[in-house]
Structure 1
Amino acid sequence: MARPSGFSYERRGDGTVVITHRGRAAGTLRGDRAAKFLAQAESGDAQLVMARWTGAYRFGNERTARNHPRNR
C-alpha cells in the first residue's frame, strides 16, 4: 500500500485540531475527538493516522476488486 503524504495538523489554543492536506483544510476535530487523534498521531505514523481520520486514503484493494469477475 502506498503511504499517504502531504498531511499536516495544527493544534489551536482552544483545543481544536485542524488537519490539512496539501495546504487545504481536510478536517477539524474538537473536544474528545481531538484528544484521541493527538494520542494516535503522536504514538504512530502521523501521516497514516491523518489519512484515516479524514477518510482520504485508499484501502489498497481497488485494483483487485476491479478485476474480479463479479465486477466486470
Structure 2
Amino acid sequence: MSALSGFSHTQRADGTVLIVHRGRTAATLRGARAAKFLDEIATGDAQLVMARWTGAYKFGNERAARRHTRNQGR
C-alpha cells in the first residue's frame, strides 16, 4: 500500500468533482478546474494526481528531516 493510496474521486451530474481521502472530502472542484483535473486523471497516475490537487503529498524532505538531530529523540 503506497503512502498516497486512499484517494478516490466522484463526478457529479452537474460537473462537480469531489476528491475524497480516507472517507473525508479533501477537495471540491467545479468548472474549468474540474475539467482539467479529469484530463490529468485520464493521463497520469490517479493517486498521485489526486494527492497533488489536494496538497496532501510528500515534498521530498521527509528523509532529511528524520535524520536531523532534533528529531532523534535525544
Query: TM range, normalised to the smaller chain?
Result: 0.7 to 0.9
Q: Residues of 2 paired with 1:49 and 1:3: CA distance?
A: 13
Q: CA RMSD in A?
A: 1.7
Provide the residue aligned with 1:62 in structure 2.
62
Q: Which runs of 5 or more residues in structure 2 are unaligned?
A: 70-74
Point out which structure has higher relative CO (alpha carbons under 8 A, 6+ apart): 1
CA distance in 2, matches of 1:68, 1:14: 48
Query: What TM-score do the two structures reach when normalised by structure 2?
Result: 0.81
The whole-number CA distance in structure 2 between the counterparts of 1:54 and 1:36 is: 14
CA distance in 1, matches of 2:8, 2:68: 36
Deviation at 1:29, TM superposition (A): 0.1
Structure 1-normalised TM-score?
A: 0.83
Gaps of 5+ in 1: none
Report 1:1-72 matches (<5 A). 3-65=3-65, 67=67
Instruction: Report the alpha carbon displacement of residue 3 of structure 1 after superposing the two structures with TM.
Output: 4.8
Calculate percent identity across the aligned residue pairs.
Answer: 69
Total equivalences in the alignment: 68
